[in-house]
Amino acid sequence: MEIFNSESKKIISDPLSINNPISLQVLGICSALAVTIRLDQAIIMTIAVIFVLCSSNVILSALRNFIPNRVRIVVMLSIIASLVTVVDQVLQAYLYDMSKQLSVFVGLIITNCIIMGRAEAFALKHGPSKAFLDGLGNGLGYGMIIIIVSFFRELFGAGTITLPNGGAGYELFSIPEAWYAAGYENIGLLVLSPGAFFILGLVIWTQRELFGIEEGE
């Protein structure tokens, strides 16, 4: 089967634009609020979610003809939970500080609605290669939004931009001291959870305006 035909492209590009899991389906909000305080946390979280989403989609799609319909949720959960455990252990082994900062939210990938939702809605109905593309697309769609949100939250809330580099991260940019001396202040609200809601709301607004999506369509 051809990987890069128009249908495959659509599977990947839809979650990034007109069918974004966070901003249009409003799934996975919990982690979008929790891990977006710093950019490096959001990037690591994105990679973790993409890995879990792609793997679970492929595995479930390959097993889809053998899973009895009535116990499919149990099977899905056990596969996703095993994958999340793997991610958690890898993070603890190689990025211990980051794993401390992300704390329970790596474990909570199990309950992230996007992963269960894609497994139920897509992976159980399509072949493994398409399921892989769907997982990749939705993972990137999720990552795109939380990276945008965390970029603004970190820049205006804490005054820095941090890229992932071990536990402490690599500080790419920080607002110069001279600004603070001249009276600039960080917006403390953005570090709190309501700040994430506001930024997320503005992102959803912008995205719906860009793609001309009205409520109820």
Interface ranges with another protein (CB under 8 A) = 183, 185, 187-190, 192, 194, 198, 205
Nearer to another protein, 185 or 217 (CB): 185
Structural tokens at position 75: 């099977």
- The residue among 30 and 189 lying less far from another protein, judged by its C-beta, is 189
Q: Which is nearer to another protein, 104 or 182 (CB)?
A: 182
Residues 153 and 160: their CA atoms lie apart, in Å, by 9
**Residues near 62 by Cβ (< 8 Å), separated by ≥ 6?**
128
Smallest gap from residue 202 Cβ to another protein (A): 9
Q: In the structure encoding, which two tokens stand for residue 71, read together?
A: 């116990």
Q: Compute the least distance from the CB of residue 149 to another protein, in Å.
A: 16
Nearer of residues 168 and 192 to another protein, judged by Cβ:
192
Helix or strand run (H / E) with residue 42: helix 39-63
Maximum Cα interatomic distance, the chain, rounded to a whole number of Å: 66
Distance of alpha carbon 113 from alpha carbon 16, whole angstroms: 17
Q: How far is the CB of 187 from another protein (least distance, A)?
A: 4
Q: How far is the CB of 106 from another protein (least distance, A)?
A: 29
DSSP state for residue 172 in the 8-state scheme: E
